[in-house]
Amino acid sequence: MVNGITDYGKRIKIRLLELGKNQNWLIEQVSERTGMYFDSGYMYKIMTGKNKSKNITKSIDEVLGFEVTE
C-alpha cells in the first residue's frame, strides 16, 4: 500500500484517468445511483480500505465498468 491507498484505490484512480473523469464525477455518479451520502472524505476511506461499504463499492464498480461480484 503506497500512501495508504489500497490496490482497489489505485484501480479507481487508473480507471478515472482512462475515462478522462475526476473523482468528483465519480462521487456524483455513486450518490445518484445509491441515494446515499457520499463525499470526498468517504471516497478517501473507500480508497484506503477504512470503509468497505458493499453498496458503495458495488456502485463504484458499476460506474467504472469493473466486474461486479456478489
**CB of 63 closer than 8 Å to CB of 33:** yes
Using CB atoms within 10 A of its CB, is residue 12 exposed (0-12), middle (13-18) or buried (19+)? buried
pTM tops 0.85, yes or no: yes
pLDDT in tens, 11-69: 999 999 999 999 999 999 999 999 999 999 999 999 999 998 999 999 999 999 998 66
Q: Please name the residue that has the C-alpha cell 482497489.
A: 8
